[in-house]
Amino acid sequence: MELRIWSLFGFFVVLTVVSHCSVNAHVMERREVDDGDFLGDEGIDDEAQKDEGNDIPIVGVIQTVGKEYTPEPGQSVRLACVVSPESVSVVNWHRIEGDEVVSLYMNTMKMMKQDNPLYNKTRIISEGGVHDLVIEDVTAADAGEYRCQLLQTEPTFVVHRVKIVSEPRIISLHATNNGTVPEGSDLVLTCKVVGLPPPKILWSRVTPGSENANVRLGENDGEFSFDSVTIKKVKGHHSGRYYCYAFNSLGQAQEEVIINVLEKPHAHVHKKEINTGIGDHAMFQCSTRGTPVPQITWFKDNVPVLVDGQRFLISTDGARSNLTVVPAGAHDFGTYTCVAQNYHGVHNKSAELVQRPVIDDVDVDGVKIDFRVHSHLPLEQVEIQLMDQTGNMNKYELPRPKNLQKSYKFSYEVKDLTPGAYQAFIRAKNEKDWSRNTDPIKMNIEAEPINIQQSSIYRANSAHSILHSTALLSTASIYLLIRML
């Protein structure tokens, strides 16, 4: 029995040893296979390493967000630009000036020209991923946009805006055609300003002959935008000195521009009719305006007047001209014309030299009419015609002057008129003809107010007073009578 037990134990020992040897053999075999696989994998890793040897570009990013900087003049400003990763090779700084991009720095190397105002007042702070641009002693001229950009296949950039807190400064003030514009055209004035806070703009004008009064332009003077004003269809009175005022909380600035409107000629005669007699003088007065000052010429019935020192004499001073006529006969009476001419056109006004009466200086005050009659010949008739709203006409003939004169002053008060609106006409006659009717003269006749006397009230008071006095007298009489009894 014991022998069988030991035999069985030996069998298990042998089996264990054989199993261990088999395992070791399998492990060794596996190692050989693994070693072979490892060698094969090593070849594959070499290929991978070769792929990794191709330079794959690193894409950089800018971590800084665009910002608005508002330094005061004389301060320094640091424009941030932080890039990632730090190994980004090239960082450029530019300044954007309108449509132009000006290169300032490539990394820390200056790319700008030496005549650039930023050349001696900027620097780059480069520390790791920081590539900041510093501007020293800033001025209003340094305001604008600055761009930090990475030089790579897919460019990326950040833009900062620099606004200098400063008092207003007028960059330019200009006008249409440099301020010389023809009459009837549009005038545009533009005032370019800088400053922070943004300046407000006001316009004013000093007009020649206005005693140097500087008057602010309002809505009725033109159409306004932020930095300009447009004056439509300018005329001569728009000439003058114009001012642009720019102001904010820090100060103000002003500039001026002279506007010269090339005005078309305009002629004006002071009287449309002048009365005189043969051998007696008469003077026509003509004033003109225009730019340049118009040339003045006189015509008689469309024929130029020739100065002869006897019948005709012309005196011209700039924009004014006087024509003196001494008629030698009926042929010297008629239409005289003042013609004004310059580069921009011709204009004329006419007046008549007549022997018939001429009426002027008409003035109306209620029912009173004052006027003057000019006649070198004796007056034969003077009358006032008064027409009511229904068209009925009343005539009032005025007494003729007793003394012979050349000019007569009349004053007449119209009476007994029904209240209402009237039109009055004045005319006078001498041996030559009736005068031309005056323009209608408006007259308004108001009803006279009725004075209402409070006679009944006074009578009532009087009656009351009389009754009261009578009562007192009666009482006193009865009292005395009783005392006497």
Query: Where does the pLDDT of residue 451 fall: very low under 50, low under 70, confident under 90, or very high at 90 and above?
Result: low
Domain boundary, last residue among 354, 388, 413: 354
pLDDT at 154: 85
pLDDT at 210: 65
Question: Is 204 found in the same domain as 192?
Answer: yes
pLDDT at 89: 80
> 280 is written with which tokens?
């007696």
Alpha carbon separation from 240 to 68, 207, 209 (Å, rounded): 42, 5, 10
Q: How far apart are CA 202 and CA 223, in angstroms?
A: 13
Q: In sequence order, what are the residues at sequence separation of 6 or more whose Cβ sits closer than 8 angstroms to the Cβ of residue 119?
A: 110, 112, 113
Domain boundary, last residue among 129, 163, 197: 163
In a domain, 197, yes or no: yes
Question: Is 426 found in the same domain as 412?
Answer: yes
What confidence tens digit (pLDDT) does each residue in 38-79 have?
Answer: 334 444 444 444 444 456 667 899 999 999 999 988 999 999
Question: Is 338 found in the same domain as 273?
Answer: yes
Query: Where does the pLDDT of residue 417 fall: very low under 50, low under 70, confident under 90, or very high at 90 and above?
Result: confident
Query: Where does the pLDDT of residue 439 fall: very low under 50, low under 70, confident under 90, or very high at 90 and above?
Result: confident
Question: Is 303 found in the same domain as 257?
Answer: no
3-state SS assignment for residue 244: strand
Q: How far apart are CA 14 and CA 4, in angstroms?
A: 16
Give the count of alpha carbons within 13 A of 354, CB side only: 20
What confidence tens digit (pLDDT) does each residue in 288-330 have?
Answer: 999 889 999 999 988 999 998 889 999 999 999 999 999 999 9
Q: In sequence order, what are the residues at sequence separation of 6 or more whose Cβ sits closer than 8 angstroms to the Cβ of residue 344?
A: 182, 183, 262, 263, 264, 265, 290
Question: Is 156 found in the same domain as 171?
Answer: no
Question: Is 288 found in the same domain as 321?
Answer: yes
Report CA torsion sign: 101, 102, 104, 107: positive
What confidence tens digit (pLDDT) does each residue in 97-134 have?
Answer: 888 999 999 999 999 999 999 999 999 999 999 999 99
| Burial class of 235 by CB neighbour count within 10 A (0 to 12, 13 to 18, 19+) | middle
What are the start-end ranges of the E strands in 118-232? 122-127, 130-135, 144-150, 156-162, 166-175, 180-182, 187-196, 200-206, 214-216, 223-224, 228-231
Query: Where does the pLDDT of residue 450 fall: very low under 50, low under 70, confident under 90, or very high at 90 and above?
Result: low
Question: Is 350 found in the same domain as 363?
Answer: no
What confidence tens digit (pLDDT) does each residue in 197-214 have?
Answer: 889 999 999 987 766 789
pLDDT at 81: 96
The number of residues in the chain equals 485
Alpha carbon separation from 64 to 80, 84, 135, 200 (Å, rounded): 7, 10, 18, 34
Question: Is 312 found in the same domain as 282?
Answer: yes
Q: Which domain holds residue 363?
A: 358-445
Query: Where does the pLDDT of residue 5 fall: very low under 50, low under 70, confident under 90, or very high at 90 and above?
Result: very low
Decide if pLDDT at 467 tops 90.
Answer: no
- The answer to whether the beta carbons of residues 125 and 78 sit under 8 Å apart is yes
In a domain, 483, yes or no: no
Report CA torsion sign: 170, 171, 176, 181: positive
* Amino acid identity at 295: Q
In a domain, 279, yes or no: yes
In a domain, 36, yes or no: no
* Amino acid identity at 439: D
Q: Name the one residue in this structure whose structure tokens are 């006032």.
A: 384
Cα-Cα end-to-end distance for the chain: 200
Residue 325 is part of a domain; what is its CATH number? Answer: 2.60.40.10
3-state SS assignment for residue 212: coil
Question: Is 374 found in the same domain as 415?
Answer: yes
What confidence tens digit (pLDDT) does each residue in 155-207 have?
Answer: 899 999 999 898 899 999 999 999 999 999 999 999 999 888 889 999 999 98
Query: Where does the pLDDT of residue 466 fall: very low under 50, low under 70, confident under 90, or very high at 90 and above?
Result: very low
Mean pLDDT of 377-404: 91
In a domain, 405, yes or no: yes
Question: Is 65 found in the same domain as 151?
Answer: yes
In a domain, 16, yes or no: no
Q: List the one residue out of 255, 244, 254, 261 whose CA is nearest residue 208.
A: 261
Decide if pLDDT at 254 tops 50.
Answer: yes
Q: How far apart are CA 82 and CA 99, in angstroms?
A: 26
Decide if pLDDT at 444 tops 90.
Answer: no
Decide if pLDDT at 26 tops 90.
Answer: no
The DSSP line for 355-384 is SS-EEEEEEEETTEEEEEEE-SSPEEEEEE
Mean pLDDT of 236-248: 94
In a domain, 20, yes or no: no
Q: Name the one residue in this structure whose structure tokens are 């930090």.
A: 148
In a domain, 226, yes or no: yes
pLDDT averaged over the chain?
A: 83
Domain boundary, last residue among 132, 163, 194: 163
Query: Where does the pLDDT of residue 19 fall: very low under 50, low under 70, confident under 90, or very high at 90 and above?
Result: very low
- For the chain, the domain total comes to 4
Question: Is 376 found in the same domain as 348?
Answer: no
Question: Is 402 found in the same domain as 348?
Answer: no
